[in-house]
Amino acid sequence: MNLELKKAIDQISKDKGIDRAQLITTLEDAVRTSVERRYGDDLDVEVRFNEDTGEIDIYQFKIVVEEVENELTQITLAEAREHDPSVGLDDEMGFRMKIDDLGRIAAQSAKQVIIQRMRDAEQEQIYNEYKDRIGEIVSGITQRRDKGGWIINLGRTEALLPKDEQIPKEHNKRGERTQALIIDVKKDGRGPQVIISRAHRDYLAALFRLEVPEVDDGTVQIMGVARDPGSRAKVAVLTRDRDVDPVGACVGVRGSRIQNIVQELHGERIDIVVWNQDITVYAKNALAPAVITKIVVDEAENLLEVTVPDEQLTNAIGRKGQNVKLAAKLLGWKIDIFSETRYKEANGIGRGLEQIASVAEISVEQLIKAGFQNLDDLRNASDEEISEKLSLTQNRIAELRSAISFLTPVIEGNEE
């Protein structure tokens, strides 16, 4: 084996970036383990890699004693003095082991260690490389379907595109190139596991950085992203540069930039929203294209009550509630949307029924449960019906009638 082993160590250290001294130490440990396994754990041995000869030298150590009880670890004084006349009792002597198949043992150990060290070093390098690339877009070839998703060959390693990180209704094909975002890197017994995603909201943000120079250099900032992968998304943008239109920068000339992103996401519709510190302005932008009449902010409940013209209700809510759902995700607020008609009715009930309930000394919930949704319902009901449904005396009903007569002009006047 001699100089061939030395050359192999030098080459592997250089090509794979493995520390040479660490490789030699690991090699020596492996040979020591092989020898001890063959000749017993009691054997006291030292293994050294000889830099001059390229050989692995093995030395066995024995204690000088008067009477030998264990030939593997002890030697008599008389025998010891044949090698060294100055030796005394309890001294330790080292002998180079002469093992017929030492070369085979060393060669096998060397091969196993080198292969394992190469594998370990490569896996560690891959892990360190990819863990620092979380949030980066990578591209690879779709290789095969795994129980957890699709396996994508990135070249040096494989990545997993889990089922829940795929865009719904998007079909992968073996041999096709797939682009995705690295979202996690895990250590695994078989090597580092790179997890990628096409459905993550950060993938959309990364595509904007890739396609829009103003986003990449920080002139335009992405303040938030909300996605319904494969269907629709909202991206909030902001710029401090008065000469830059953040929406125009993201759209590009004739929509070139945004179209590249939409094409990559197989037709996902993207709304670009201008971020604003004022939550009401931000909410109006987020709910576009719907026109907003009024927004009431309930900070205690983290709730926005949004009123829109009757004909804008469908636009504001969106197909299957998608527009309002994405706007709520983008804002981080709950959103209740009312048409103007419904808002007036709701507030009419609130202002009118609440005061009527106070006069009747019952709750608003009791009135509504009894079928009285507004003042007109009460005005048009007979005394017998009111008495039956609310269990009120005639005097209380008379007071109720007076309150209805008093409140009706006020409520109608406010609604106008």
Higher pLDDT, 126 or 258: 258
Which residue range is the domain that position 149 belongs to?
136-199
Q: In this structure, are 141 and 226 located in the same domain?
A: no
**The two structure tokens encoding residue 330:** 């983008």
**The two structure tokens encoding residue 62:** 């024995």
- Give dist(CA 74, CA 65) in Å, integer: 7
Q: In this structure, are 190 and 293 located in the same domain?
A: no
pLDDT score for 292: 92
C-beta of residue 262 within 8 angstroms of C-beta of residue 229: no
- Number of domains composing the chain: 4
**413 pLDDT more than 50:** no
Q: In this structure, are 285 and 407 located in the same domain?
A: yes
The residue among 145, 167, 199 that closes a domain is 199
End-to-end CA separation in angstroms for the chain: 101
Nearest Cα to Cα of residue 179 among 156, 148, 210: 210
Q: In this structure, are 289 and 390 located in the same domain?
A: yes
> 410 falls in which pLDDT band (50, 70, 90)?
very low
Q: Please report the DSSP string for 4-17 in residue order.
A: HHHHHHHHHHHHH-
User: pLDDT of 303-344, one tens digit each?
Assistant: 998 988 889 888 898 888 899 999 999 999 999 888 887 776
The residue among 166, 183, 199 that closes a domain is 199
The CATH number of residue 141's host domain is 2.40.50.140
The CATH number of residue 252's host domain is 3.30.300.20
**368 pLDDT more than 80:** no
Q: In this structure, are 351 and 390 located in the same domain?
A: yes
Q: In this structure, are 147 and 102 located in the same domain?
A: no
pLDDT score for 352: 62
Higher pLDDT, 12 or 233: 233
Q: In this structure, are 37 and 103 located in the same domain?
A: yes
C-alpha distances in angstroms, 248 versus 87, 214, 243, 288?
91, 11, 11, 16
The residue among 128, 158, 173 that closes a domain is 128
- Give dist(CA 331, CA 317) in Å, integer: 15
User: Most confidently modeled of 12-21, 45-54, 111-120?
Assistant: 45-54
Q: In this structure, are 153 and 208 located in the same domain?
A: no
Q: In this structure, are 17 and 64 located in the same domain?
A: yes
pLDDT > 90 fraction of the chain, expressed in percent and rounded: 37
Which 8-state DSSP code applies to residue 253? G
Which 8-state DSSP code applies to residue 212? -
Pairing assessment for the beta strands 158-162 and 193-197 based on DSSP bridges:
parallel
C-beta of residue 370 within 8 angstroms of C-beta of residue 364: no
Q: In this structure, are 284 and 346 located in the same domain?
A: yes
Q: In this structure, are 316 and 402 located in the same domain?
A: yes
C-alpha distances in angstroms, 219 versus 110, 244, 278?
56, 8, 21
Q: In this structure, are 152 and 114 located in the same domain?
A: no
